[in-house]
C-alpha cells in the first residue's frame, strides 16, 4: 500500500471516530451536524460543505447546515426540485463528482450569484436512511479537479451517521409532538368530566334531600309501599352520587387540578373520624374491627383529607368483603425513612390472583356475584392510588382468594414535593 493511502485511510477513520464522539455528546443536533461537516471540510481540505434536506411533498431541497466563507448566506435557502447538482443527486439517489462546473450543464450558478462564491468543483452524495433519501451532503471547492474517488468515499462514509442522526431527531420531535397532543386531549377530557360530574352532583343531592324529607314524614304520612319505593330510590341515588363523586375526583387528577394541602395532625384523629362509619358498615356481621397504633406515634405533616380518603377506601373494602373474622388496622413508624406504615389486614373473600394487576385501574371489579352484590363502581382503589402517588406513598397488596387480604400503605411522615 502506498504510505499516502494509509495516512488518508487513517484520517478517515479518525474523522468517523470524531463524529461518533460528537453523536455521544448532549449538544443540540444542529451544532453536532455543523461540527461534523466542519471536520469533514477540514479533513478533505475543501472550501465549503453543506447539508440539504428534502421536502417529500415538493421535492425541494433546503440548506439545513453549512460551513465555509459564505455559509451564513445559505441558511434556509431552498433549491427547486431537481435544481443544480444537489437537486440531481436528490432525484437520482446517486453520488456525483463534478471536476469542473464550467463543463457541466447540470450545474446551477444561482447560489454563486447570490453569495459571490466561485464554485469550480463539487462532490455530492445522498443521505439515506433504510433506503429512503432524506437529503444530500455536498462539498465545494474553488479549484477545478479537487475531488476524486477517495473524497467521494470519505463523504459517503460521513453521510451514513449524519443521515441517521437527522432521522432520529426527526422521529423524536414527531413523537414529542404526538405526546403533547395526547396530553392535551387527556387534559381537555379530564376538565370536561370534572365539570360534568360536578354539575351532576347538585341535582342528585337535591333528590336525596327530598327523599330524606319524604322518608322522615316531614311532608305527610307515607305508606309502607311508598316507603319501599323511596328507599330503593335513596339507595340508587346514593350509588349515583358516589359514582359522580368518584369520577369527579379521578378527572380532577387527570386534569392536573389536585393540589396537596399540608397540615399537622395525628393518625388517631383520622381513625376516630372514620371508625363509626366502619362499625355501621359492619353491623350485623361477626367481624371484629381492631385498631392497633404503635404507642406514641408521632404526628404527620401531610395532606390529611387525602390520607383519610386512602385509608377509608381501603378499610371500606375490607368492611364490604369480610363476612366473618377480623379487620386489623395497625400503624407504626419506620424509623430510618421517617415513613408511617399502615397495614390493613382482613379475613375476607380475598382477591383472585389474576385480578391483582388490575386492582388499581378505574372501573375494575373482581368478577363474580359477590362484587356485584356489594355495590360500588370500582373507583375506590384507583382514587386511593392516585392520591397515594401525590403524597409519595406506596400501596401494596397481598391476597389469597378465600383467605383474606392485606394492604400495606407507606407514607412519608412529612410531605415533601421532591
CB of 313 to ligand ATP, least distance (A): 6
**CA within 13 Å, CB half, 104:** 20
Q: Which of 66, 162, 379, 409 binds ligand ATP (CB under 6 A)?
A: 379
Cell 421535492, residue? 59
Tell which residue, 53, 120, 64, 119, has the closest CA to residue 90: 53
Does residue 380 touch Mg ion according to CB under 5 A? yes
Measured over the CA atoms of residue 171, residue 173, residue 179 and residue 185, the dihedral's sign is negative
Tell which residue, 314, 310, 312, has the closest CA to residue 386: 310
Does residue 388 touch ligand ATP according to CB under 6 A? no
Q: Select the binding partner of residue 39 from ligand ATP, Mg ion, none (C-beta < 5 to 8 A, by kind).
A: none
Contacting range for ligand ATP; rule: CB under 6 A; set: 132-140, 144-152, 288-296, 375-383: 375-383
Q: Could you tell me if residue 376 is left (phi over 0), alpha (psi between -120 and 50 degrees) or otherwise beta?
A: left
Does residue 318 touch ligand ATP according to CB under 6 A? yes
> Could you count the other beta carbons within 10 Å of the beta carbon of residue 76?
7
SS3 139: strand
Does residue 366 touch ligand ATP according to CB under 6 A? yes
Q: Select the binding partner of residue 321 from ligand ATP, Mg ion, none (C-beta < 5 to 8 A, by kind).
A: ligand ATP
Q: Which of 346, 386, 393, 415 binds ligand ATP (CB under 6 A)?
A: 346
Q: Select the binding partner of residue 405 from ligand ATP, Mg ion, none (C-beta < 5 to 8 A, by kind).
A: ligand ATP
- Map the footprint of ligand ATP across residues 188-247, applying CB under 6 A: 246
One-letter-per-residue 3-state SS of 144-181: CCCCCHHHHHHHHHHHHHHHHHHHHHHHHHHHHHHHHH
Contacting range for ligand ATP; rule: CB under 6 A; set: 153-161, 210-218, 258-266, 374-382: 374-382
Does residue 352 touch ligand ATP according to CB under 6 A? no
Q: Which of 125, 351, 391, 395 binds ligand ATP (CB under 6 A)?
A: 351
On whether the CB atoms of residues 359 and 408 are closer than 8 A, the answer is no
Q: Binding string, 304-323, against Mg ion, x = CB under 5 A? A: -------------x------
On whether the CB atoms of residues 189 and 171 are closer than 8 A, the answer is no
- Map the footprint of Mg ion across residues 75-114, applying CB under 5 A: none
What does the block give as the cell for 225? 309501599
**Residues contacting 355, CB < 8 A, separation 6+:** 364, 366, 367
Q: Which residue of this chain has its Cβ atom nearest to ligand ATP in the complex?
A: 380
Residues that bind Mg ion (CB under 5 A): 317, 380
Residues that bind ligand ATP (CB under 6 A): 246, 313, 317-318, 321, 346, 348-351, 359, 364-366, 371, 376-382, 405
Amino acid at each position: 500500500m502506498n504510505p499516502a493511502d494509509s495516512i488518508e485511510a487513517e484520517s478517515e477513520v479518525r474523522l468517523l471516530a470524531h463524529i461518533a464522539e460528537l453523536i455521544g455528546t448532549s449538544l443540540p443536533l444542529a451544532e453536532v451536524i455543523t461540527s461534523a461537516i466542519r471536520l469533514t471540510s477540514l479533513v478533505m481540505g475543501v472550501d465549503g460543505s453543506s447539508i440539504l434536506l428534502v421536502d417529500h411533498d415538493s421535492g425541494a431541497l433546503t440548506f439545513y447546515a453549512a460551513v465555509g466563507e459564505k455559509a451564513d448566506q445559505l441558511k434556509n435557502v431552498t433549491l427547486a426540485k431537481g435544481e443544480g447538482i444537489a437537486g440531481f443527486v436528490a432525484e437520482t439517489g446517486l453520488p456525483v463528482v463534478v471536476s469542473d462546473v464550467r463543463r457541466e450543464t447540470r450545474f446551477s450558478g444561482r447560489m454563486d450569484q447570490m453569495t459571490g462564491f466561485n464554485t469550480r468543483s463539487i462532490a455530492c452524495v445522498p443521505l439515506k436512511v433504510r433506503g429512503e433519501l432524506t437529503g444530500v451532503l455536498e462539498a465545494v471547492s474553488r479549484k477545478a479537479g479537487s475531488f476524486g474517488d477517495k473524497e467521494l468515499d470519505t463523504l459517503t462514509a460521513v453521510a451514513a451517521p449524519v443521515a441517521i442522526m437527522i432521522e432520529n431527531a426527526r422521529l423524536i420531535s414527531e413523537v414529542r409532538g404526538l405526546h403533547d397532543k395526547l396530553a392535551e386531549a387527556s387534559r381537555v377530557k379530564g376538565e370536561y368530566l370534572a365539570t360534568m360530574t360536578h354539575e351532576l352532583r347538585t341535582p342528585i343531592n337535591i333528590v336525596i334531600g327530598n327523599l330524606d324529607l319524604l322518608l322522615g314524614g316531614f311532608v305527610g304520612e307515607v305508606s309502607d309501599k311508598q316507603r319501599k319505593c323511596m328507599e330503593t330510590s335513596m339507595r340508587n341515588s346514593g350509588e349515583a352520587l358516589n359514582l359522580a363523586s368518584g369520577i369527579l375526583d379521578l378527572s380532577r387528577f387527570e386534569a392536573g387540578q389536585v393540589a396537596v394541602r399540608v397540615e399537622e395532625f395525628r393518625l388517631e384523629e383520622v381513625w376516630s373520624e372514620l371508625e363509626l362509619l366502619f362499625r355501621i358498615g359492619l353491623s350485623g356481621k361477626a367481624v371484629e374491627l381492631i385498631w392497633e397504633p404503635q404507642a406514641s406515634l408521632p404526628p404527620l405533616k401531610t395532606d390529611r383529607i387525602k390520607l383519610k380518603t386512602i385509608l377509608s377506601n381501603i378499610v371500606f373494602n375490607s368492611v364490604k368483603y369480610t363476612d366473618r373474622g377480623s379487620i386489623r388496622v395497625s400503624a407504626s413508624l419506620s424509623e430510618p425513612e421517617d415513613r408511617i406504615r399502615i397495614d390493613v389486614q382482613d379475613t375476607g373473600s380475598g382477591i383472585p390472583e389474576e385480578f391483582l394487576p388490575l386492582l388499581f385501574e378505574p372501573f375494575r371489579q373482581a368478577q363474580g356475584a359477590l362484587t356485584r352484590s356489594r355495590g360500588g363502581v370500582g373507583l375506590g382503589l384507583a382514587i386511593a392510588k392516585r392520591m397515594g402517588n401525590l403524597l409519595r406513598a406506596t400501596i401494596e397488596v397481598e391476597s389469597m382468594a378465600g383467605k383474606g387480604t392485606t394492604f400495606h400503605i407507606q407514607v412519608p411522615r412529612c410531605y415533601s414535593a421532591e
